[in-house]
Amino acid sequence: MAPSVADLEQKVQTGVTPNIADLKAAVQAVVSAGIPGPNLSAEILPPLSYPHLAPIEGENKISPPLQPFEHVDAASRADPKLPRLLNDKTKTHHLSPYLGTEISGVQISQLSKQGLDELSLYTAQRKVLIFRDQDFADLPPERQIEIVGHYGPLHEHPTAPQLEGFDNFIASLRQKGKKAYRAEYNVEDNLSYTLWHSDVSYERQPPATTFFWLLDQPEVGGDTLFLSQVEAYNRLSPEFRKRLETLRAIHSGVEQAEGSRKAGGVVRREGITTEHPVVRVHPVTGEKALFVNKGFTRSIVGFKKEESDALLNFLYDHIAKGADFQVRATYQKGTVVIWDNRIVAHSAVPDYGKEQRRHFLRLTPQGEVPIPASA
């Protein structure tokens, strides 16, 4: 008897049937048998490219609170001419005058410590780097940790899925039948999937030079949007900027923790609220950047609710409409995207079909306590 479609999907998702030719023959057998079903070819996913990097499911652990530390930015040690990163073998392509550069001809895995320092400085300057043709995804996790750990203690996310044995990786597998899949496609109450944010900005020392790479990607879509919070700040009038520089805002991880709990996910650390300056200064470049985001900023300290909502909503509208200081990072096999989380906001673009799969990893070094522009 031919296997059912559900049997086949189960086998594919668990990686029990790695032979594609067998799989296609089995699907054909189902079709030939006249068993009704939706678009079979679109419903069947091949095995994961990196099955050993699938996230842990059903984890339930408590982690200790993050500890304060003194952050020394790797970019502060870099040779400003960036000779190890940008040389005659390196090709660069800028996506916008304000942010975003595609780089090829250099392997992150081959950079010395000085080269990694330069990478940090260039990330701060260009805000988002899109490295092509990297062997990074094939490095052992320990080596990936060693490279990204160069930039600061690696953050353990309070709610995101992890890799077995590695607390600091975010490992996300979005495909039909997985938990993240439902949340990803929930647009019942919203017109768009876009949610501009700075990762875990509620932490006392939010992340800095963040590494993100895909292991499996949809045929089309699944890009990431980035915007320059430096340019967003620069567009405001001098008088308005002056006022913003005196303000502080509350960022909250409470809703994220509650959301995870409600969805049956893990809460490793309870959500915290933290006060940060509305305008922060990059510790190395000295650039000023807006540091509010719709994802985690909740209120302006000292303002009444209507005042706070009006100001924050104005700023959120301003950055969302700024297509002239936004870029779109696309992914190919071997792409690693690195951003300076202190001075950009980003949004996932989960526009790909429900039958598609997206599997990614992220390592997230923490940075300094945000430096206020008013200091």
Positions touching Fe ion (CB under 5 A) are: 199
Given the complex with Fe ion, which of 84 and 358 has the nearer CB atom? 358
Cα radius of gyration (the chain): 22
Given the complex with Fe ion, which of 199 and 216 has the nearer CB atom? 199
CB of 200 to Fe ion, least distance (A): 8
Given the complex with Fe ion, which of 102 and 199 has the nearer CB atom? 199
Is 157 in the active site?
no
Given the complex with Fe ion, which of 206 and 372 has the nearer CB atom? 206
CB of 37 to Fe ion, least distance (A): 36
CB of 345 to Fe ion, least distance (A): 9
Give the CA-trace dihedral at 100, 105, 111, 114, to 10 degrees. Answer: -60
Given the complex with Fe ion, which of 117 and 199 has the nearer CB atom? 199
Is 362 in the active site?
yes
CB of 153 to Fe ion, least distance (A): 19
Token pair 């996790």 is found at: 141
CB of 199 to Fe ion, least distance (A): 5
Query: Looking at beta carbons, which residue is closest to Fe ion?
Result: 199
Given the complex with Fe ion, which of 66 and 86 has the nearer CB atom? 66
- Out of 199, 216, 223, 340, pick the active-site residue: 199
Sign of CA dihedral 282, 128, 53, 268: positive
CB of 321 to Fe ion, least distance (A): 20
Given the complex with Fe ion, which of 365 and 372 has the nearer CB atom? 365
- Out of 251, 280, 282, 346, pick the active-site residue: 346
- In this structure, how many other beta carbons lie within 10 angstroms of the beta carbon of residue 37? 12
Is 199 in the active site?
yes
Residue 311 and residue 300 in contact, taking contact as beta carbons nearer than 8 Å:
yes
The amino acid present at 350, given as its one-letter code, is P
Residue 229 and residue 345 in contact, taking contact as beta carbons nearer than 8 Å:
yes
Residue 86 and residue 92 in contact, taking contact as beta carbons nearer than 8 Å:
yes
CB of 231 to Fe ion, least distance (A): 19
- For 135, list phi and psi in degrees, rounded to 5: -95, 10
Is 88 in the active site?
no
Given the complex with Fe ion, which of 118 and 199 has the nearer CB atom? 199
- Out of 77, 150, 197, 241, pick the active-site residue: 197
CB of 272 to Fe ion, least distance (A): 18
- Residues labelled catalytic: 197, 199, 346, 362
